């Protein structure tokens, strides 16, 4: 059975052809094959191609997929390869919807002789979100392992030049990207959460100190001086420090040079902006720079939400400038008269959730304190304290009979364990005892944390719930380090390190929008999208690339994100090009 084309010439000289489905039958009498017409499709130029496609699909169901592909593709068509398409296509759709491509291309238009850095930067951002790697490996990933629209290939040199340009335009980019995101997503930027983290580098020696201004930026041609953050809130205008240098590590790696990274996040979990400082920069002064940088972003009234590391008097005074207010965590174990007064005030708690009670205390006209109590956390604190006291009691049992020197050695051993040393008391005679007064004091703090707020209009419930959302920043740090692989950083130049952090911020922005829109984690989104591929075939007439048929989870993801699926035929390249 085969398809036959019959041609003939009309009386007027025109030539026409007809398509017929025919089959050869053997005629035993004539001892020859006779052609039998099974079906006539009519004139070739008038054939219903849609009907033929339906017939082919129907017949293909009788074959296994490999045989069907061989039968329909023909022996001259070869499969060149298959690359993941869904992840990069969705990220590119969000990238364009937020107008990031427009912003970058507009900034590029002001620079002569620029390469297509917008596509390269998107490729690097997609690499952070889908397969984090070094820039050399990212260039290979873009060129050989994934399909990115408008970027068939790139090189590590182009990636580095694109990062250098990104560092030059970072301030303009951050401002315009935030404006686009705020308008499209209708963000409520009344609460702005800020926190810092650090990331270390596997170096033998820190960077050479250079002169820096109060914002940690390099200042050329001036002599540096060792400035420290004073208790009165005044900073030296200039100091000398290397970018990758030793400081208090939040990764418990004080033995390695590091940098400090800050991030501001909205209540929806959308990262607004990131900052980088030398590794020895103290948290206490960072928020003041952040507040100044955000001042010119034409935002409405902002309530800054920050952790206990930013609760100095100078920081609080700085955040109250203008119409801005703050919610800041306070240390319960403090010598501050205000905090002692707030904790000693009597009053009833109001239940605002399953595991949350709040009590407001007003100490002054300008500031309010809110005591938050978690009953489950209180039980956990009490259980841990009972274990510590039991362990301490076992250690000091019989110590009265020890010689004075041996008792001193035991006292020194316990002093190295803060959890135990907290409940140890030394009598005037040098004997070791359990400090029952300290146990009672600590019991009064079980499951509690203290908040300070300068906004007179926020309720105690809003203050407590607003501070609880600070977890969004910590979640952002966790995703940056575990999903986007912020570390290790394969760069030594300060500008490249800052650009690397910018790429991680843009990747976090895209995946957080995808998560908030779909209600799924990026891990599940990426898993489903990676299964949508672009398959490349080649034949005598050229090469073409088409996508695989989407599954229902993939179709649902595109629908929730309000994005169109990629075209069935993505690209066609005729032979000879």
What pLDDT, on the 0 to 100 scale, is given for residue 421?
A: 92
What pLDDT, on the 0 to 100 scale, is given for residue 229?
A: 38
What pLDDT, on the 0 to 100 scale, is given for residue 117?
A: 92
- In 10 A of CB 411, how many CB atoms? 16
- The H or E element spanning position 317 is helix 313-319
In three-state secondary structure terms, 32 is strand
Residue 44's alpha-carbon distances to 24, 49, 534, in angstroms, are 22, 10, 33
Question: ∠ CA 468-477-231 to the nearest 5 degrees?
Answer: 70
What pLDDT, on the 0 to 100 scale, is given for residue 65?
A: 56
φ/ψ of residue 340, rounded to 5:
-65, -40
What pLDDT, on the 0 to 100 scale, is given for residue 137?
A: 95
Residue 163's alpha-carbon distances to 177, 260, 262, 400, in angstroms, are 17, 20, 20, 67
Give the number of residues written for the chain: 577
User: Exposure string (b/e) for 143-174, b if CB count within 10 Å is 16 or more?
Assistant: eeebbbbebeebeeebbbebbebbbebbeebb
In three-state secondary structure terms, 572 is strand
- Per the CB < 8 A criterion, the answer to whether 260 and 279 are in contact is yes
What pLDDT, on the 0 to 100 scale, is given for residue 225?
A: 42
Residue 295's alpha-carbon distances to 288, 290, 321, 324, in angstroms, are 11, 9, 10, 10
In three-state secondary structure terms, 479 is helix
Question: ∠ CA 520-521-527 to the nearest 5 degrees?
Answer: 100
Q: Report DSSP state, residue 44.
A: G
Among 398, 190, 390, 393, CA closest to 305: 190
User: Exposure string (b/e) for 3-39, b if CB count within 10 Å is 16 or more?
Assistant: eeeeeeeeeeeeeeebbbebeeeeeeeeeeeeeeeee
What pLDDT, on the 0 to 100 scale, is given for residue 177?
A: 84
Helix axes 156-168, 117-130, angle to 10 degrees: 100
- Per the CB < 8 A criterion, the answer to whether 419 and 411 are in contact is no
φ/ψ of residue 496, rounded to 5:
-70, -35
What pLDDT, on the 0 to 100 scale, is given for residue 1?
A: 75
Strand ranges (DSSP E) for 60-204?
Answer: 78-84, 191-200
In three-state secondary structure terms, 334 is coil
Q: Pairing state of beta strands 325-330 and 448-453?
A: antiparallel
Which mean pLDDT values do the consecutive 10-residue runs of the chain (577 residues) have? 83 85 84 84 82 77 62 68 95 94 88 79 96 94 95 94 93 85 66 84 90 78 42 50 90 91 84 90 77 71 78 81 82 84 87 88 84 92 94 92 92 92 92 93 91 88 85 84 88 94 95 93 95 89 87 96 92 75
Helices and strands (DSSP H and E) totals, the chain:
20, 20
Residue 520: HSE in the Cβ half-sphere, 13 Å Cα cutoff: 17
In three-state secondary structure terms, 353 is strand
Q: How many Å apart are CA 477 and CA 262, to the nearest integer? A: 10
What pLDDT, on the 0 to 100 scale, is given for residue 462?
A: 86
The pTM (predicted TM-score) of the whole model is 0.74
Q: How many Å apart are CA 491 and CA 51, to the nearest integer? A: 59
- The H or E element spanning position 517 is helix 494-518
Sign of the Cα torsion 441, 447, 452, 453 reads negative
């Amino acid at each position: 059975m085969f398809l036959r084309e019959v041609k003939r010439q009309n009386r007027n000289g025109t030539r026409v052809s007809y398509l017929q489905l025919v089959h050869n039958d053997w005629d035993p009498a004539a001892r020859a094959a006779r052609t039998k017409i099974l079906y006539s499709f009519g004139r070739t130029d008038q054939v219903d191609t849609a009907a033929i496609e339906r017939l082919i699909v129907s017949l293909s169901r009788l074959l296994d997929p490999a045989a069907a592909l061989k039968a329909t593709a023909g022996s001259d068509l070869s499969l060149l390869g298959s690359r993941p398409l869904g992840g990069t296509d969705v990220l590119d759709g969000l990238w364009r919807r937020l107008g990031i491509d427009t912003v970058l291309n507009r900034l590029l238009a002001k620079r002569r002789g620029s390469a297509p850095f917008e596509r390269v930067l998107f490729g690097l951002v997609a690499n952070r979100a889908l397969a984090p790697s070094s820039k050399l490996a990212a260039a290979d990933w873009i060129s050989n392992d994934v399909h990115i629209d408008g970027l068939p290939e790139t090189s590590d040199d182009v990636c580095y030049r694109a990062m250098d340009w990104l560092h030059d335009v970072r301030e303009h980019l951050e401002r315009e990207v935030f404006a686009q995101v705020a308008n499209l997503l209708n963000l409520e930027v009344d609460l702005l959460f800020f926190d810092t983290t650090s990331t270390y580098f596997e170096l033998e020696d820190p960077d050479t100190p250079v002169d820096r201004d109060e914002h940690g930026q390099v200042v050329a041609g001036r002599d540096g001086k060792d400035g420290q953050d004073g208790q009165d809130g005044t900073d030296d205008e200039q100091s000398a420090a290397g970018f990758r240098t030793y400081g208090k590590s939040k990764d418990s790696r004080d033995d390695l040079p590091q940098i400090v990274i800050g991030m501001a996040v909205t209540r929806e979990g959308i990262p607004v902006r990131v900052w980088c400082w030398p590794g020895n920069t103290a948290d206490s002064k960072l928020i003041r720079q952040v507040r100044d940088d955000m001042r010119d972003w034409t935002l409405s009234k902002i309530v800054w939400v920050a952790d206990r590391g930013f609760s100095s008097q100078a920081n609080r005074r700085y955040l109250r400038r203008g119409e801005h207010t703050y919610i800041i965590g306070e240390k319960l174990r403090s010598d501050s008269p205000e905090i002692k007064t707030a904790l000693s005030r009597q009053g009833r708690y109001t239940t605002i959730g399953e595991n949350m009670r709040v009590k407001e205390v007003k100490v002054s006209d300008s500031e309010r304190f809110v005591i938050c109590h978690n009953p489950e956390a209180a039980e956990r604190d009490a259980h841990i304290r009972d274990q510590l006291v039991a362990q301490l009691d076992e250690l000091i049992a019989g110590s009265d009979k020890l010689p004075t020197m041996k008792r001193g050695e035991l006292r020194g051993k316990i002093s190295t364990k803060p959890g135990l040393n907290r409940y140890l008391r030394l009598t005037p005679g040098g004997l070791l005892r359990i400090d029952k007064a300290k146990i009672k004091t600590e019991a009064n703090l079980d499951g509690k944390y203290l908040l300070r707020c300068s906004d007179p209009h926020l309720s105690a419930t809003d203050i407590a719930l607003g501070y609880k959302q600070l977890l969004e920043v910590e979640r952002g740090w966790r995703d940056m380090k575990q999903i986007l692989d912020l570390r290790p950083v394969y760069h030594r130049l300060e500008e490249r390190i800052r650009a690397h952090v910018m790429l991680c911020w843009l990747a976090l922005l895209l995946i957080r929008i995808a998560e908030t829109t779909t209600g799924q984690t990026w891990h599940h989104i990426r898993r489903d999208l990676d299964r949508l591929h672009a398959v490349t075939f080649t034949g005598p007439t050229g090469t073409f690339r088409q996508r695989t048929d989407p599954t229902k989870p993939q179709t649902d993801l595109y629908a929730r994100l309000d994005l169109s699926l990629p075209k069935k035929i993505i690209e066609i390249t005729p032979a000879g090009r």
